[in-house]
Structure 1
Amino acid sequence: MAAAGMRSPFAFKATAYSAGGLFGAWIVTKLLDTHFDLKLFTDTEGWLSVAWDWLTLETPVSNWLLLMIAPLIVFLSVAIYYTRTTERADGELHEIERRVYKKNNPQFPQLTDNETILMEALAYHANFRKIANFDSVCKLVSLSTLEVESGLKQLEVKRLVKRDVTRGTFGSTIFMLTLAGKDYALERLELT
């Protein structure tokens, strides 16, 4: 779509080219008819009258309808071609953007064995849409509470996990994967 205030030059160019083509054809036929006495214009008029008679014939499917279907098929073919071409370009652009993102952002940090186990536990909670509080994480892994607490703090420092603390009567602490943590889980832990 053209930007605001800018007109698309396509309509003007198409009109100018078609008008110029018709004018040029008319001049060429007139010049040939007058200078070479070829009677080309009268022959062309005869061909046009034969074509008109054919178009107006009464058949089960009008001839003009058949002539309109051909440009429609050509138009649809061109539209489908350009749609597929732009889809392919969008896919390539997405892949290039992903490569640039991976190049500009540092790779994931190296995790210890305990941190990897905790990431798997948090990814399990996220995969099944369960709330990951401290007790549920401790039940899922075979680590002491001290190891779980220090591992979760280290994952928070590495910005793979965030902690959400709620206050009040039923206050609790919930651990969630950040976007980087989700990316890590998807790439390294091979979750489905």
Structure 2
Amino acid sequence: MGRWGTVALAALAAVATACSPGSAEPATGDEASPSTTRTPRITDDSGRPPVTFDPCYDIPDDVMNAAGYDAGKKELADMPMGTYTFLGCAYEGTISVPGVLARYDLLVLAGNVSLEEELTKNGHVAEAVEVNGRSALVEVDPNVRDTCRYVLQTTFGIVGLSRIYHKDHPGAVPQDEWCAGVLDLATTLEPFIQD
């Protein structure tokens, strides 16, 4: 897994120490909101484009609740790096699957690195796909168990969805189940990406 994937997983593991979104008004509608000009919460000194999509504020809470994630407990998971920036939002969720109750952690990161840079770092575990016609990658690293990542191209860089499946049974989760439902989630969230 490349540098950004490692950063994403580290942020997801450390999200318990992140602060809540605070008093800013999060998105709550069930349709993609019209594009607004917002000063990014975090910028860097790299000369890269500012990150114009803020997952904690631009993804409506009711959309995340409907997808099985508790938006009332979402937490900021930002990563200002100096040479690039990631704005993140972490969620916990329980999704009922017939015969199974699975728990997931989800991290949505918007960053100003390019899809080409992401492919250079994680090409060994990435497959090119499209999400609603948008260029994307799906990444499944056998060394990062129970984790699936979709990375979507934007005009400012990328938006990544990293989901960890916390098994509730003994034994390993088969690798072909790590990404179950993640494409559907990416397809649902893609229209909200402002770029």
Greater strand proportion: 2
Q: Tell me whether the two structures share a fold, i.e. TM-score over 0.5.
A: no
Q: TM-score, normalised by structure 1?
A: 0.22
Greater helix proportion: 1
Larger radius of gyration: 1
Higher relative contact order (CA 8 A, sep 6+): 2
